[in-house]
Structure 1
Amino acid sequence: MHAKVVVVGSLNMDLVARAERLPRGGETLAGDSFFTVPGGKGANQAVAVARLGGSVAMIGNVGDDAYGQQLRQALHVEGIDCQAVSVCDGVSSGVALIVVDAASQNAIVIIPGGNGLLTPESVERFDALLQAADIVICQLEVPLPTVAWTLARARELGKTVILNPAPATGPLPAEWFAHIDYLAPNESEAEALTGLPVTDKASAERAAERLLALGAGKVIVTLGAQGALFVTAQGSQHFPAPQVKALDTTAAGDTFIGGFAAALSRGMGEGEAIAFGQRAAALSVTRAGAQPSIPYLAEVQP
């Protein structure tokens, strides 16, 4: 069976240390706990699609280390097509070194490892996966030329194209917008893309309208506890967030993207798919970790 959704993106192993506070420069601090969790925005979104009812293939890279084996296995056990998760010799897998304090503030260092070696040519090797898919999802944790090539190729093939512009540090290249059906930033990403402050529904709508003017097909601005704003040439619609007690927001955005794509791939309308993605994301923030927090379809059905 061909995967209906293809995710082109990153795979990271998250190395998480918890301590009472973050260490100062030059300081050695005793911590409380340590654990490793499979992550990376691309892999998280692929897992979310799989758990939330979609068939999905992943295109990405890992290193030739134990973490790489674990990252591929984590996808494999979810039923994700991993034929295009390639092993790069002589480099590490992508890792995120995360220190979290008692107030849940964190400091993160990301080493791209194999993710940094995902080239347009390495995606093109698996063009058959793109051709067979209905939906193609990209983020910004792999080299930008690779994202650019994938967006253009997916558009050329007539696929539904979703870009989660994370982590965004500034405006996107102008030529990207015409290839994007759904551009889905959070508040800070929408601000980085447009230079406009985004703090509430009204400012999110202004930023989204700027992104539409640049050529994006439709824009979904996720606003955390304030919900999500869906903006098209026809107008805007606000989707309130389900009320939950948040424990850990890691991978909430990835869960939303994966849930939205899975719902679209199963034939849901846009509004229904956004609301479904929100319910999945709301459940994810009540649990710790990246991939461990992503819920399953049976938990999210209304």
Structure 2
Amino acid sequence: MATRPRPLVILGSINLDLIATAARLPRPGETVGGGILTRQPGGKGANQAAAAARLDGCSRLVGAVGDDGPGREMLAALTAIGVDTGGVAVREDPTGTALILVDALGENEIVVCPGANSHVTLDGIRLDHEDLLLCQLEVGIDVVLAASRRHPGFLALNATPAQRLPEELVRRCDLVIVNETEYASIPELTDAGLVAVTFGAEGSALFEEGKLVARAPGEKADVVNTIGAGDAFCAALVLALRAKMAYAEALAVANRVGAHAVTQAASQPALSPLSHYLMGAAGS
């Protein structure tokens, strides 16, 4: 009997998302009326953990929340969909909050108030060689670097928000995931080992030491909200590569997952198991 792979481990942020949806985004100094306000679980780490749990049946999250109502709300929502939150610490600072504006086409603007996310540590966290670890930069880069030094197994980094990356971290990553704007603004990635770049509706590509090695076209979708799409793509790509899919196939599967995600308003959209998105089985 085959042994089931260990759950994907995500080190990252946990936020309460406060989302104002309006016909269009305001210009500087302008007020736009007629908005609709919603609140839901968010944060790139939590979004990726939620996506991985829905795609793979379970996942494990390392992060921090405040000892407050939003923190308990976020943990309950994650636990309900199969995320192991045993690695989430409770801090004195309030749970992180993201203020998000979304227009009728699904485009968004986001301001993040990190709160407890600024105090994520690896205290008491065990990382084994068999674990696949996915990190982002909504937690301190120091803790991500510490994780890269401690973790003996596969390490993926979603390098967003874009910032200067230590050479040591870039060398250590088995996979870096960015969008096209981030790729252009982080010169350290030019010759990195393996970098996945997303191009929105145009699809995605993989570069190995700066050379294009695979590309997959985008999937058509009726866009409602793009907030969770990149996070769903990240989780799907790492899981597809774990399943030993060829590069182009792994990108195509991740593109389908991202396309499914944009059709929903949630930052942590409902997704099918990963096998649903294989060629011939895809369709939302």
Q: TM-score range by the shorter chain?
A: 0.7 to 0.9
Match of 2:266? Answer: 289
Between the two proteins, what is the percent identity of the paired residues? Answer: 38
TM-score by length of 1: 0.82
Of residues 247, 251, 267 in structure 1, which corresponds to 2:224? 247
- More displaced stretch, 8-17 vs 283-292: 283-292
Q: Alpha-carbon deviation of 1:61?
A: 0.2
CA deviation map 1:95-127 (0-9, x unaligned): 011233455554432110110111xxx31421x
Distance 1:3 1:81, change over 3 A: farther
Query: Residue 166 in 1 paired to residue 155 in 2?
Result: no
Q: Is the 8 A contact 1:3 1:55 kept in 2?
A: no
Select 1:48's aligned residue among 27, 48, 51: 51
Cα distance in structure 1, aligned partners of 2:237 and 2:65: 26
Instruction: Look up the equivalent residue of 2:155 and give its one-letter code.
Output: V
| Aligned equivalents of 2:5, 2:105: Cα separation in 1 | 44
- Distance change >3 Å, CA 106–CA 255, structure 1 → 2: closer
> Which residue does 2:116 correspond to in 1?
114
- 1:1-302 residue pairs with structure 2 within 5 A? 3-20=6-23, 30-53=33-56, 55-89=58-92, 91-102=93-104, 104-118=106-120, 122-126=121-125, 128=126, 130-131=127-128, 133-154=130-151, 157=152, 159-168=153-162, 170-194=163-187, 211=189, 213=191, 216-233=192-209, 235-292=212-269, 294-297=271-274, 299-301=276-278, 302=281
Distance in 2 of aligned mates of 1:232 and 1:22: 37
**Runs of 4+ with deviation above 6 angstroms:** 24-29
Return the offset for 1:276: 1.4
Cα shift at 1:77: 0.9
The CA RMSD over aligned residues, in Å, is 2.5
- Aligned equivalents of 2:19, 2:271: Cα separation in 1: 18
Give the whole-Å Cα distance in 2 for the aligned partners of 1:299 and 1:108. 31
Report the CA distance shift for 1:245/1:85 in structure 2 as closer, same or farther (over 3 A).
same
Contact 1:9 1:43 (8 Å CA) reproduced: yes
Runs of at least 5 residues in structure 2 that lack an aligned partner in the other structure: none
Instruction: Sort the Cα spacing of 1:98 and 1:124 in 2 relative to 1 into closer, same or farther, 3 A.
Output: same
Relative to its length, the structure with more helix (as a share) is: 1
Please, which moves more after superposition, 36-45 or 230-239? Answer: 230-239
Residues 254 and 150 (structure 1 numbering): CA distance in 2 closer, same or farther, change over 3 Å? same
Q: Secondary structure at the match of 2:38?
A: strand
Per the TM alignment, residue 263 of structure 1 is displaced from its structure 2 partner at its CA by 2.4
Q: Aligned to 1:246, what secondary structure does the other structure show?
A: coil
Equivalent pairs counted in the alignment come to 275
Contact between 2:206 and 2:214, CA under 8 Å: does it hold in 1?
yes
State the AA in 2 paired with 1:182. Answer: L
- Cα 1:165–1:54 change in 2 (3 A) is farther
Query: Post-superposition shift, 1:292?
Result: 2.8
Which stretches in structure 1 are left out of the alignment for 5+ residues?
195-209
> Deviations along 1:34-88, whole A, 9 cap, x unmatched?
1111111111111111111254210000011111011111110111111011111
Report which stretch shifted further, 226-235 or 261-270. 261-270
For residue 83 of structure 1, give the secondary structure of its aligned residue in structure 2.
strand
Secondary structure of 1:131 counterpart: coil
- In structure 2, C-alpha distance between the alignment counterparts of 1:272 and 1:20, rounded to whole Å: 36
Decide which moves more: 26-35 or 242-251: 26-35
Alpha-carbon distance change, 250 to 295 in structure 1, aligned in 2, over 3 angstroms: farther
Relative to structure 1, is the Cα distance of residues 143 and 245 closer, same or farther in structure 2, using a 3 angstrom cutoff? same
